[in-house]
Amino acid sequence: MSCPYSSNYREMEDSIKTDFKDDMSYADYLNLEQILSAQQPQSDQHDEMLFIVIHQASELWLKLAGHEITAAVTMLKNAEFGPAFKVISRVKQIFIQLTQSWNILSTLTPVDYLKFRDSLGHSSGFQSHGYRKMEFLLGNKNQALIKVHESNSAAYDELTAISNAPSIYDEVIRIMAASGFDIDNSMLERDFNQPYQSNESVLNAWLEVYRNADKHFELYELAEKLMDIEDAFQQWRFKHMYTVQRVIGNKMGTGGSSGVAFLKKALDISFFPELLELRTKL
C-alpha cells in the first residue's frame, strides 16, 4: 500500500542497516563523539560557538592541505607529475573553501565579538600549527615563529623538521636543475631554514620554460599549478585580514601582534617570487 504522502515521503528501504551493536557506524568511523564534543565555549555568549566551529573546521582543512602538499613533494621527487598535479589542485580548492569560511565569520558583529573576546585570553590564530606548517611547506620559513610552539613538543619538532627540509619550491628548483637548466648551485644546497629569496638563475630558467611551453610542458603546467596555490592562499590571507579589520578594527591581536597591520605584511610575501616576476619579463 502506498503512503498517502508519497510525494513528500521517503520510505525506509529494508536493505538499510540499522543495527550497529557489533559493527562500525558512521559516527564511529569519524570519531564524531570526540569531534562534536570539542566545542567548549569559555563564555555564555551565543556567537562564541560560531567562532569556535569556524576555527576548528579551518584547522581540519589546514591539516588536509598539509597532508596533500607533503604528498605532492614526494610525488615530484619521484617524477610523478600527474598525481602531483592532482593533489596540488586539491590544495587550491581547500584554500578556496577556507576563504569562504571568512564570509561566515564576518556575520559576527564587533559588538557581539567583544562580549566574549576576553575569554580567548592570549590564544590566537598566530599560534596555529597547521597554518605555520603550510607556510613552511610552501617556503615561507621563519625559525623565530617556531618559538610559540615550544610548549607543544610534537608541533615544535615537526615544524623544526619541516623548516630544515626543502620546501616544495626548493624541490621544484632541484627538478629544473636535474632537467638541464642552469641553476646556481647555491640554490640547490642552501640553508633551507632561511626564507626563500628570488634568484636570477631560477628566473631565467622559468623564462625558458614559459617561452618554450610545448617543449617543457610538465614544468610549465607545474608552475601554473603553483601559481594557483599562491593565488588562492593570498585571497585567503586578504579575506582573513579584512574580516579581522571588519570585526575589531585596528585593535591589537589577542596573541600580542599589532593585529591588522601585522596581517597586511603577509600580503607582500610571495612563495614563488620568480613565477610572478617572469610575467613582467615575458
Quote the CA–CA distance of 28 and 16 in Å, as a whole number.
17
| Residue 113 is labelled as binding a ligand | yes
Region of 166 (left: φ > 0; alpha: ψ -120 to 50; beta: rest) is: beta
Among 96, 192, 183, 86, which residue's Cα sits nearest to residue 137? Answer: 192
Among 58, 66, 61, which residue's Cα sits nearest to residue 105? Answer: 58
| Residue 51 is labelled as binding a ligand | yes
* Residue indicated by cell numbers 627540509: 165
| Residue 99 is labelled as binding a ligand | no
272, 230 Cβ separation under 8 angstroms: yes
| Residue 254 is labelled as binding a ligand | yes
Distances in whole angstroms, Cα of residue 218 to Cα of each of 149, 210, 212, 272, 278: 38, 11, 11, 17, 17
| Residue 217 is labelled as binding a ligand | no
| Residue 172 is labelled as binding a ligand | no
| Residue 52 is labelled as binding a ligand | yes
Annotated binding site for substrate: 51-55, 113, 117, 254
- Binding site for heme, residues? 240
Annotated binding residues: 51-55, 113, 117, 240, 254
